[in-house]
């Protein structure tokens, strides 16, 4: 060890960047039932019945609404699940992602 050094190494910390977040959006249409939208919000997004109804009415009135904000992989998985459920039931429900 060169003279003057104590032999103690300082720990350097690097911060991991948080992944970008994405909004999962449901879009209003003239065919998907309100009951189905509420069901999707409760099952896929784990919303309480009152919150699911509030979001559904927001989607109905404004044309689209935010169901949740997640990291990309989780948001994409939820969107795929919504599209799959809608297809199974014969509804044209659109579900998209938007960077938050």
The model's pLDDT over 22-47, given as tens digits with 9 standing for 90+, comes to 999 999 999 999 999 999 999 999 99
**What was the pLDDT predicted at 17?**
86
pLDDT band at 9 (very low <50, low <70, confident <90, very high): low
CA distance 34 to 24: 18
Q: Is 81:28 a contact under the CB 8 Å cutoff? A: no
**What was the pLDDT predicted at 64?**
96
The yes-or-no verdict on residue 79 having pLDDT over 70 is yes
């Amino acid at each position: 060890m060169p003279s003057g050094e104590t032999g103690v190494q300082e720990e350097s910390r690097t911060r991991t960047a948080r992944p970008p977040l994405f909004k999962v959006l449901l879009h209003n249409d003239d065919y998907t039932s309100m009951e189905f939208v509420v069901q999707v919000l409760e099952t896929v997004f784990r919303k309480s019945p009152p919150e699911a109804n509030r979001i559904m009415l927001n989607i109905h009135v404004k044309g689209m609404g935010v169901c949740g904000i997640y990291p990309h992989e989780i948001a994409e998985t939820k969107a795929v699940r919504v599209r799959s459920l809608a297809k199974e039931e014969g509804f044209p429900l659109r579900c998209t992602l938007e960077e938050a």
